[in-house]
Structure 1
């Protein structure tokens, strides 16, 4: 049985909208598109690339798919070769054209579609696609999550975790690491659906 891992670039206040370019996702008149670029360094870039080792499928929301499909087929790099070779599964409420080779539209029954993908693939990555990630989290369909937290505050924009996020317990898979520009890598596994609680006022704790 395979697993689904979410990979997201986020700010310290949880904004994951449009990290790569000004026009990537302007929804809500978002004014900070491309906020990741000034903070990218070789260490953080290396984390991203090493985190893709073993990936055997991409799972993307429609907007991220369109961005990737317009960019990666024209590139000549290790990541481009990987993305162009991998099967790509796309979540959409409509029936959009999928011109990128190896692309398949997911069934609208998301839990059933993810179960089928887990049977077919061992290491499925969701990259970006913050709107789609909200749906996956709501349906408890995320097994692991890697966050690259950048030392800036934007105040508004689409966030990784919304106000109605489904409760879950996470386990840190390895110690947090920090790049020279202050980007922090956090890798988690989802280990439970009912977070434990306690009472800090008790003397016998």
Structure 2
């Protein structure tokens, strides 16, 4: 961090406006005994609705176990259309202790500005202290070796710092805006 700070300081000293952000937050996903708090959603859905043929996709696919083990705060479930009661699944998922939000894919696509044709039938978002995976057999957490599982992808990891090296120039209220990490360009170039 010192090297990064020195480089950013040199850029500012040369007259550059510096704006910095991150791509996502990170949260601990284990209990006080370092046991990961995991919901294996595909296992749950297929045990309760075997006719649905659920297939859960975890956008976090990096299997680096000491970091997040391909487990995250956001997953998509694709279902066999003719056999699925999506509304019942949504309601049951909302009752699970690891779940902050569950919704139809169409609702998630609208809420998070994602293409509907790429969305699952069901979306589940984990609480801050939990992660969601597909099948227990598909996530090897044996290599945690005493490390706390950490991950991201849920609503709790959306808050990020947006830093700027000098005051804003424009008379624009910024306190009411829902800034996102890509707004760093607006912050650096136009304000």
TM range (shorter): under 0.3
The higher radius of gyration belongs to 2
Q: If each structure's helix is expressed as a fraction of its own residues, which one has the higher value?
A: 2
Q: TM-score, normalization: structure 2?
A: 0.22
Q: TM-score, normalization: structure 1?
A: 0.21
